[in-house]
Amino acid sequence: MQLLASNKVFGGLHQRYSHQAESTQCEMTFAVYLPPQATAEQPVPLLYWLSGLTCSDENFMQKAGAFKVAAELGMAIVAPDTSPRGEGVADDPEGAYDLGLGAGFYINATQLPWAKHYQMYRYISEELPALLEQHFPVTQQRAIAGHSMGGHGALSIAFKNPERFSSVSAFSPICQPTTCPWGQKAFTAYLGSVQQAWQEHDSSLLIKRLTPEQHLPLLIDQGSDDSFLAEQLKSETLVDAAKQLNYAINFRMQQGYDHSYFFIASFIEDHLRFHYKYF
């Protein structure tokens, strides 16, 4: 790993690193916040934050205002990049924001030219945890959260691996990517036209595979004034599926809030305290 930056904040350290990733076959960047309680003798639990379209590892760390509460609770946070990057990594030829760089969708691509580098599911669920738990003072207690495309990533990864996480939360998640324009475009490119492959990354379908014992504590905040709500996010599909399963999720429609980091900053403390309760 190469340390790119280090800043002291609320008694802890915010650091950015790059490393050569085996899964994505390129250099990946992530940011980690270590609270003041984190030492080799006293490792702390870790929250994975997955960001949305166009974001990198920097957006959440700079805009969410999470460090004060994380320092109080003694919780580490990691924010990986949203896609592979670098020379030779495929990108949308028209420069669209919803495909290619910044739009990895947290899945393993199977179609060319994407398959070589776009292995974000493997990176988030396997390689990055192994790296963090080997080199940083963190425990194997993990929670996962995200926003928009990252909310889709957090939910789908948690539902596919409920034994790895103690809780999951999301802001404005893409709940049914198989039926929304963002998801259909990305899944067609990355996974091809076979719908069964798409279903393996659709949270509104994955939730139905869980047994009652696998029902993780789940908090979702959605802004009522989010311009993407009806066409892209489709939160009602997940809420309806949870009701059918008697899965007691905490879904909160926040009146007047939109899709921005102003929304995330307003409620991030709730999410950190929610996850801490289940560590």
d(C-alpha 41, C-alpha 25), whole Å? 33
Q: What is the pTM of this model?
A: 0.97
**pLDDT reported for residue 183:** 98
Phi-psi region of 85 (alpha: psi -120 to 50; beta: other; left: phi over 0): beta
Per-residue pLDDT of the chain (279 residues; tens, 9 = 90+): 999 999 999 999 999 999 999 999 999 999 999 999 999 999 999 999 999 999 999 999 999 999 999 999 999 999 999 999 999 999 999 999 999 999 999 999 999 999 999 999 999 999 999 999 999 999 999 999 999 999 999 999 999 999 999 999 999 999 999 999 999 999 999 999 988 999 999 999 999 999 999 999 999 999 999 999 999 999 999 999 999 999 999 999 999 999 999 999 999 999 999 999 999
* Per-residue pLDDT, 32: 98
Which residue shows structure tokens 């896609």?
Answer: 83
**Known catalytic residue at 51:** no
Omega before residue 113 within 30° of 0, cis? yes
User: Which of 99, 259, 106 shows the shortest CA–CA distance to 182?
Assistant: 99
Question: How high is the pLDDT of residue 1?
Answer: 95
Q: Is 203 a catalytic residue?
A: no
What integer pLDDT is reported at residue 152 of this predicted model? Answer: 98
Please, are residues 46 and 139 in contact by the beta-carbon 8 Å criterion?
A: yes
DSSP code at position 164: G
Sequence ranges of the domains in the chain: 2-278
Residue 73, H or E segment: helix 67-73
- How is residue 226 written in tokens? 């989010």
Where do the DSSP E strands lie in the chain? 2-9, 12-21, 26-34, 44-50, 76-80, 138-147, 168-171, 218-223, 250-254
Pick the catalytic residue from 51, 56, 83, 148.
148
CB atoms within 10 A of CB 115: 14
Whole-Å CA distances, 65 to 58, 89, 277: 12, 32, 20
The dihedrals phi and psi of 191, each to the nearest 5 degrees, come to: -115, -10
Q: Which of 14, 117, 201, 259 is catalytic?
A: 259
Q: If you search the block for the tokens 């091809």, which residue do you land on?
A: 192
Q: What is the pLDDT of residue 50?
A: 98
**Which of 65, 79, 69 shows the shortest CA–CA distance to 272?**
69
Active site residue 135: no
- What is the bridge-based pairing of β-strands 26-34 and 76-80? antiparallel
CATH of 2-278, one of 3.40.50.920, 2.60.120.10, 3.40.50.1820, 3.40.50.2300: 3.40.50.1820
**81, 226, 271, 275: which is the annotated catalytic residue?**
226
What is the Cα 17 distance to its own chain's centre? 18
Is 162 in contact with 187 (CB distance < 8 Å)?
Answer: no
